[in-house]
Amino acid sequence: STQQQNEIRSYVVDVESRRILDISNNLKTPGSTTVLCVQSDVILATFSSLTTPGQLFVSKLSSLERDCNIEWVRVSTPSEVPSSVANAKVEYMALKQDTGARVSTFTAIYFGPDEGKVYPLVVWPHGGPHSAFSNSYSLEAALFNMIGFA
């Protein structure tokens, strides 16, 4: 599992065929997939987003060999969160600066109310490439959302 722009994504590397297959569990909703354990051909992973706490999923690698797709089965349910968190807007933003700097493009994630009002904004800068912020559940982000910050 590794950070890829705004999400943590998980991959299978087939050394013989030299293929890298994305097995992330975010076909239905954006979020982050982290592999926790692999035993024989069974994979245990967690999936979460800024609006949904982590939940456990399992899958078999043998299903990947048949059709190049992986089918995740949820084995836990996420904890309930306040409606302000569950219904918050999550938006991936591709940004560009025209200052002549070596790095001119970057991404950001907006997480906050979707009501068109003005809210105080919390900004979490990071010093990438060694750190990053992803669309995965964060108690701190949920707390700031619940007390009225974007």
Q: Higher pLDDT residue, 98 or 131?
A: 98
Q: How many CB atoms sit inside 10 A of residue 89's CB?
A: 13
Residue 109 has phi, psi (to 5 degrees) of -125, 125
Continuous H helices in the chain: 61-67, 83-86, 139-146
Chain-wide mean pLDDT for the chain? 88
Q: How many CB atoms sit inside 10 A of residue 94's CB?
A: 10
Per-residue pLDDT at 129: 64
Say if residues 74 and 59 touch (Cβ distance below 8 Å). no
Mean pLDDT, residues 71-86 taken together? 93
User: Would the pLDDT of 63 be above 80?
Assistant: no
- Given the structure tokens 């890829």, which residue do they identify? 4
The token duo for 5 is 């722009």
Q: Higher pLDDT residue, 88 or 68?
A: 88
Ranking 32-41, 62-71, 89-98, 103-112 by mean pLDDT, the lowest is 62-71
pLDDT above 70: percentage of residues in the chain: 93
User: Would the pLDDT of 66 be above 70?
Assistant: no
Which among 35, 5, 39 is positioned nearest to 23, based on CA atoms? 35
Could you tell me the pLDDT band of residue 52, with boundaries at 50, 70 and 90? very high
User: Would the pLDDT of 78 be above 90?
Assistant: no
Note the pTM of the prediction, 2 decimals. 0.85
